[in-house]
Protein backbone atom coordinates (compact mmCIF):
# COMPACT_ATOMS: atom_id res chain seq x y z
CA UNK A 1 0.00 0.00 0.00
CA UNK A 2 1.95 2.98 -1.34
CA UNK A 3 0.86 6.59 -1.66
CA UNK A 4 2.65 9.04 -3.93
CA UNK A 5 2.07 12.75 -4.28
CA UNK A 6 3.40 16.22 -3.72
CA UNK A 7 4.25 17.58 -0.28
CA UNK A 8 2.23 20.26 1.48
CA UNK A 9 4.36 21.47 4.38
CA UNK A 10 2.91 22.69 7.67
CA UNK A 11 4.52 23.60 10.97
CA UNK A 12 3.98 22.70 14.61
CA UNK A 13 0.69 22.75 16.52
CA UNK A 14 -1.66 22.81 13.54
CA UNK A 15 -4.94 22.52 15.38
CA UNK A 16 -8.31 21.25 14.25
CA UNK A 17 -9.65 24.81 13.92
CA UNK A 18 -6.88 25.57 11.41
CA UNK A 19 -7.59 22.32 9.59
CA UNK A 20 -11.33 22.98 9.42
CA UNK A 21 -12.87 26.25 10.67
CA UNK A 22 -15.73 25.81 13.15
CA UNK A 23 -18.30 27.28 10.74
CA UNK A 24 -18.09 24.03 8.72
CA UNK A 25 -18.95 21.76 11.65
CA UNK A 26 -22.68 21.82 10.97
CA UNK A 27 -22.10 20.10 7.62
CA UNK A 28 -22.37 16.35 7.20
CA UNK A 29 -21.53 15.98 3.50
CA UNK A 30 -17.81 15.05 3.31
CA UNK A 31 -17.39 16.84 -0.04
CA UNK A 32 -18.70 20.05 1.53
CA UNK A 33 -16.39 19.60 4.53
CA UNK A 34 -13.43 19.33 2.15
CA UNK A 35 -14.14 22.82 0.81
CA UNK A 36 -13.20 24.26 4.20
CA UNK A 37 -9.96 22.32 4.59
CA UNK A 38 -7.17 24.72 5.66
CA UNK A 39 -9.30 27.62 4.42
CA UNK A 40 -7.94 30.12 6.96
CA UNK A 41 -4.37 28.80 6.99
CA UNK A 42 -3.79 28.03 3.29
CA UNK A 43 -6.67 29.48 1.25
CA UNK A 44 -5.16 28.07 -1.97
CA UNK A 45 -5.08 24.50 -0.63
CA UNK A 46 -8.42 23.24 -1.98
CA UNK A 47 -7.84 24.73 -5.40
CA UNK A 48 -4.39 23.17 -5.75
CA UNK A 49 -4.27 19.91 -3.79
CA UNK A 50 -4.17 16.78 -5.94
CA UNK A 51 -5.45 13.32 -5.05
CA UNK A 52 -2.66 11.43 -3.29
CA UNK A 53 -0.74 14.50 -2.10
CA UNK A 54 0.93 14.18 1.29
CA UNK A 55 0.76 16.65 4.15
CA UNK A 56 3.97 16.97 6.15
CA UNK A 57 3.55 18.47 9.59
CA UNK A 58 5.61 19.33 12.62
CA UNK A 59 4.94 18.39 16.21
CA UNK A 60 1.46 17.94 17.69
CA UNK A 61 -0.37 17.95 14.35
CA UNK A 62 -4.14 17.88 14.86
CA UNK A 63 -4.21 19.27 18.39
CA UNK A 64 -7.34 20.99 19.64
CA UNK A 65 -10.83 19.59 19.69
CA UNK A 66 -11.73 15.95 19.25
CA UNK A 67 -13.83 16.47 16.13
CA UNK A 68 -13.64 13.83 13.42
CA UNK A 69 -14.53 16.51 10.90
CA UNK A 70 -10.89 17.63 10.62
CA UNK A 71 -9.31 14.38 9.36
CA UNK A 72 -12.42 13.70 7.28
CA UNK A 73 -12.04 17.06 5.51
CA UNK A 74 -8.38 16.28 4.81
CA UNK A 75 -9.20 12.84 3.40
CA UNK A 76 -12.05 14.16 1.28
CA UNK A 77 -9.80 16.93 -0.08
CA UNK A 78 -7.77 14.12 -1.65
CA UNK A 79 -4.80 13.89 0.71
CA UNK A 80 -3.35 10.39 0.65
CA UNK A 81 -1.41 10.48 3.93
CA UNK A 82 0.07 12.73 6.59
CA UNK A 83 3.65 12.46 7.81
CA UNK A 84 4.48 14.48 10.92
CA UNK A 85 6.92 14.66 13.81
CA UNK A 86 4.01 13.80 16.12
CA UNK A 87 0.23 13.82 16.24
CA UNK A 88 -2.27 14.77 18.87
CA UNK A 89 -3.55 11.41 20.14
CA UNK A 90 -7.26 11.99 19.48
CA UNK A 91 -6.51 13.23 15.95
CA UNK A 92 -4.40 10.11 15.39
CA UNK A 93 -7.24 7.82 16.42
CA UNK A 94 -9.88 9.80 14.51
CA UNK A 95 -7.77 9.74 11.34
CA UNK A 96 -7.53 5.96 11.31
CA UNK A 97 -11.21 5.68 12.24
CA UNK A 98 -12.10 7.49 9.01
CA UNK A 99 -9.39 5.81 6.90
CA UNK A 100 -6.69 8.50 6.71
CA UNK A 101 -3.17 7.06 7.12
CA UNK A 102 -0.61 8.78 9.36
CA UNK A 103 3.09 8.13 9.87
CA UNK A 104 5.32 9.68 12.51
CA UNK A 105 8.87 10.53 11.44
CA UNK A 106 10.74 13.49 12.82
CA UNK A 107 13.54 13.10 10.28
CA UNK A 108 11.20 12.94 7.27
CA UNK A 109 9.13 15.86 8.56
CA UNK A 110 12.30 17.93 8.81
CA UNK A 111 13.79 16.72 5.53
CA UNK A 112 10.79 17.01 3.19
CA UNK A 113 10.09 20.38 1.61
CA UNK A 114 6.98 21.98 0.12
CA UNK A 115 6.44 20.67 -3.42
CA UNK A 116 8.76 17.66 -3.14
CA UNK A 117 7.45 14.48 -4.71
CA UNK A 118 7.17 11.81 -2.02
CA UNK A 119 6.30 8.13 -1.84
CA UNK A 120 4.96 6.66 1.41
CA UNK A 121 4.81 2.89 1.86
CA UNK A 122 2.35 2.21 4.68
CA UNK A 123 3.30 -1.45 5.05
CA UNK A 124 7.06 -0.87 5.44
CA UNK A 125 7.13 2.69 6.80
CA UNK A 126 9.53 3.78 4.04
CA UNK A 127 9.18 7.44 3.11
CA UNK A 128 11.08 8.32 -0.06
CA UNK A 129 11.68 11.82 -1.35
CA UNK A 130 11.45 11.21 -5.10
CA UNK A 131 12.81 14.73 -5.70
CA UNK A 132 16.05 14.37 -3.72
CA UNK A 133 16.36 10.58 -3.43
CA UNK A 134 16.52 10.68 0.39
CA UNK A 135 14.82 7.85 2.30
CA UNK A 136 13.51 7.73 5.86
CA UNK A 137 11.90 4.95 7.86
CA UNK A 138 8.91 5.33 10.14
CA UNK A 139 7.16 2.60 12.07
CA UNK A 140 4.99 0.76 9.55
CA UNK A 141 1.24 0.86 9.98
CA UNK A 142 0.11 -2.43 11.54
CA UNK A 143 -1.96 -4.76 9.32
CA UNK A 144 -5.23 -4.27 11.24
CA UNK A 145 -4.91 -0.48 10.84
CA UNK A 146 -4.11 -0.84 7.13
CA UNK A 147 -7.34 -2.85 6.88
CA UNK A 148 -9.20 0.16 8.32
CA UNK A 149 -7.60 2.40 5.70
CA UNK A 150 -8.40 0.04 2.84
CA UNK A 151 -12.00 -0.28 4.00
CA UNK A 152 -12.44 3.50 4.23
CA UNK A 153 -12.49 3.62 8.02
CA UNK A 154 -13.72 1.76 11.08
CA UNK A 155 -17.44 1.88 10.29
CA UNK A 156 -16.91 0.61 6.75
CA UNK A 157 -14.57 -2.11 8.03
CA UNK A 158 -17.22 -3.33 10.47
CA UNK A 159 -19.88 -3.22 7.73
CA UNK A 160 -17.68 -5.32 5.46
CA UNK A 161 -16.97 -7.88 8.19
CA UNK A 162 -20.63 -8.04 9.23
CA UNK A 163 -21.75 -8.42 5.63
CA UNK A 164 -19.14 -11.12 5.06
CA UNK A 165 -20.28 -12.97 8.19
CA UNK A 166 -23.88 -13.06 6.90
CA UNK A 167 -22.98 -14.03 3.36
Residue 16, domain CATH: 3.20.19.10
Start-to-end CA span in the chain (Å): 27
Number of domains in the chain: 1
pTM: 0.92
CA atoms within 13 A on the CB side of 124: 11
Domain that holds residue 135: 2-166
Residue 38 to residue 141: CA distance in whole angstroms:
26
The confidence band for 166, taking pLDDT boundaries of 50, 70 and 90, is very low
CA atoms within 13 A on the CB side of 86: 7
Residue 31 to residue 75: CA distance in whole angstroms:
10
- pLDDT tens-digit series, residues 27-66: 888 899 999 999 999 999 999 999 999 999 999 999 998 8
pLDDT of residue 108: 98
| Dihedral in degrees, nearest 10, Cα atoms 78, 111, 115, 100 | 0
pLDDT of residue 155: 78
DSSP 10-78: --S--BHHHHS-GGGTT---HHHHHTTTTTTT-TTHHHH--TT-EEEE-TTBTBS---THHHHHHHHTT
Inter-residue contact 92 to 60 (CB < 8 Å):
no
Amino acid sequence: MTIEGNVWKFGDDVDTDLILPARFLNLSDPAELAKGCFLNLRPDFIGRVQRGDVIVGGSNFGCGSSREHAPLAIREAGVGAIVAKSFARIFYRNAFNIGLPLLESEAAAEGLKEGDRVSVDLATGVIENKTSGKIWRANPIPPFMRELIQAGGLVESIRMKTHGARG
